[in-house]
Structure 1
Amino acid sequence: MVLISCVTFLSFLQLSVSNQLIVEMPPTDTIEDESYVCRSIPFENIEKGYLESIQIDVDRSRVHHVATSVCEMPISKEIWECKETQGSNCVGSSAGFGGWDRYTNDKGVFEFPDDLSLELGSQTSMKYLVFQVHFSGKQINQTKPAATLTLNISDKPRKYNFQGYLMGSRGFIPSNSPKGYYSNIACEWKLPGVKAFRYRMHTHHAGYHVEAFLVRNGTWTLLGSGSPQAKAKNWFEIPGGNVNIRRGDILAARCLYINKEKTPIYFGMGDDNEMCLFGIEIGFHDKDKQHFAQELLCETESPTFQFKNFPGLLDYF
């Protein structure tokens, strides 16, 4: 159990006339070398606004990464240790966005594309900001905030509302796979049409390539690909520009691993586990918001699931 001691707990929340919201993680002491600390803040002074960008400034000597999200109700209305609740810090509507870690190349600036924004505020379903700070070492006698977030919020909506679509694997990577093993993921899109703007990808040490496709009427359109070994955590533009996703399309992704060990590598949150993640930044129309209250997840079991077992993909892999 991590003991969290907030040296000071001032109100760091303010909304200026320029629609800028500034929040900080107060100086925080911990008793573990690897700690995850979360804070939730209500949008008390914003009834309805539209997030366009965020600037995340951190003390790089103390912080490994910062994750940002908005939600209807956080699991705690204060500061709490959240290593065990990663991905489950909200109840009801939620959307994860932005973030920072030491591998990003954008200097802590996250900007939505021109046609995309995130609705938030006390009169919306996204009533709280929740952010998580992963400390890379034990924090003792801290006197300065570890992270400062500056949100730029407009009073005018853009054409599309933001939500995330995440493709991931569960299960394991087989042992003795020195020539490579693909973990496959695929789901049919059964919701109203959306626009895909950008993508990002993630694996751990054994992952060497990630790629994803939109499949429609037998035609495979590349959504993105790259080497996670490059450690770049940015959002990347989809090759050829934004893509429309329609009801009945298939979204397919796969990650290439090399496992030379005599034991399997299991997917999970631990440092010794692996991940196969391909995230898509999607935009939906306001009239369809009831379908996109939470981040969408497409998850399949490895090694059981293979493209050849999925209707519509049989003839291609």
Structure 2
Amino acid sequence: MAFSIIVFATLFCHIWAMNRASTSFSVPVIETQTSDQYSCYDYSLDHVELEHLKSIRVDVDRSKVHHVTFSFCENPLTNSSVWTCGHLQGHVCDGYAVNVAGWNSKTLDTGHFEFPSGVTVRYGKKTRLVHLVTQIHFRGEVKDYHEPIVNVTLFPHQNVNPSSLNYQTYMILSSGFIPQNSNTGYFAESACEWKKPPVTAYKFYSHTHHYGFMAEGFLIRNNTWRFIGGELTKNRTRDWSSIPGGPLVIYPGDIIAARCLYINKEDKPVPFGLTDQQEMCNFEVNFGYESRYSKEFKRSFACMSNTQEFSFCKTKALHGFCQ
């Protein structure tokens, strides 16, 4: 009898796991007031007990949207379900938060992001992550439009305990401006020391606007440079690329550095900023960390350098790059 109960229970759990349902929703129609408007939508996950995210898909009206990103949140920064959030790019949560890839018009990517094997986001009422905030960067004004512009689907793992590592992201950014008449090219460079526990990095992502041509990232340990990845930033076929040579362990004391190449033939500088007419130098890595380090990685985080004040060659720990 006991054996029969065990067999039945095992079979029931197997069937239940194999039928874990995806979650789909549409962002309500949002009318924008200006071009380049950023709007956020909070979707509650309080109907979910516990899921382990395997992948996320976003379908967008490409004529209306510049890019879409997601943040799993303990709480959103506002009580409104829809709000304007341009000044909060990537920082739309209060408490624990995980930023997740979405879709970018600068690539030919379909908008289906799958997490690295062995890494996941745990979400639902049994976790701290009970909200999903969708951040949309619109191209222009949206008026008198009645069809959903953004549709989202979350696909959970069918295995109840699929992973020992938690997902998080780290971004390197530039501020300042690209000088005028940079006809032969101008590099914006950034770097920061890794001061958190060890993690395993899997993929990288880069992003520039109209003046950017290339981005690349490096890990520096004991004056030895290792290539994280690089790519031409125009007409890319995908948002995220695997790190050459496979996953990379980042240890405390390592330096993560990145640079982007621009050509500005105009007689005026181009500032870094949030709009499509400004520029960006974003180099991001995603990584997995052990659950015992949850407090250290409670939020996605970033490193920023002013391109007029910082360069590899002027930094003692990095000047070997220029020798």
Give the TM-score of the pair, scaled to structure 2: 0.86
For 2:320 and 2:67, how far apart are their aligned partners in 1? 41
Which residue among 141, 146, 149 is the counterpart of 1:143?
Answer: 146
User: CA 1:176 to 1:62, structure 2 compared with 1: closer, same or farther past 3 Å?
Assistant: closer
Q: Distance in 2 between matches of 1:182 and 1:101?
A: 23
| Distance of 2:95 and 2:293 partners within structure 1 | 17
Q: Deviations over 1:161-208 (max 9, x none)?
A: 111110011112223322222111111111111001000101112212
Please name the residue that 2:92 is paired with.
Answer: 89
Amino acid paired to 1:96: N
Q: Which of the two has higher C-alpha Rg? A: 2
Q: Pick from 242, 257, 260: which aligns with 1:252?
A: 257
Q: Which amino acid aligns with 2:166?
A: N
Match of 1:19 in 2: 21
CA distance in 2, matches of 1:114, 1:268: 34
- Report the CA distance shift for 1:17/1:79 in structure 2 as closer, same or farther (over 3 A): farther
**Residue aligning to 1:5:** none
Q: Which runs of 5+ in 2 are unaligned?
A: 1-17
Q: What is the identity, as a one-letter code, of the residue corresponding to 1:160? A: L
Deviation track 1:250-283 (CA, whole Å, cap 9, x = no partner) reads 1111111222333322211123321111010111
1:13 alignment partner in structure 2: none
Q: TM-score, normalised by structure 1?
A: 0.87
Tell me the distance in 1 between the aligned counterparts of 2:279 and 2:106.
18
Q: Give the deviation of 1:86 after TM superposition.
A: 2.6
Contact map agreement 2:106 2:234 (CA 8 A) in 1 = no
CA RMSD of aligned residues (A): 2.1
Say if 2:229 is the partner of 1:229.
Answer: no
Of 212, 216, 241, the match for 1:211: 216
Contact 2:192-2:303 at 8 Å conserved across structures: yes
Q: 1:278 aligns to what?
A: 283
Give 4+ residue runs of structure 1 displaced > 6 Å after superposition.
none
Letter of the aligned partner of 1:164 in structure 2?
Answer: T
**Counterpart Cα distance in 2 of 1:260 and 1:254:** 19
Residue identity matched to 1:146 = I
Cα 1:59–1:261, aligned 2, differ >3 Å: closer, same or farther?
closer
Report which of the two has the higher share of helix.
Answer: 2
Which letter does structure 2 place at the counterpart of 1:222? F
Q: Could you say what secondary structure the match of 1:315 adopts?
A: helix
Provide the C-alpha distance between the structure 2 equivalents of 1:57 and 1:272, rounded to a whole number of angstroms: 25
Look up the match of 1:7: none
- Amino acid of the structure 1 residue aligned with 2:123: L
Could you tell me how far apart the structure 2 residues matched to 1:183 and 1:29 are?
A: 35
Letter of the structure 2 residue corresponding to residue 298 of structure 1: C
Which is worse superposed, 229-238 or 90-99?
229-238
User: Counterpart of 1:248 in structure 2: which amino acid?
Assistant: G
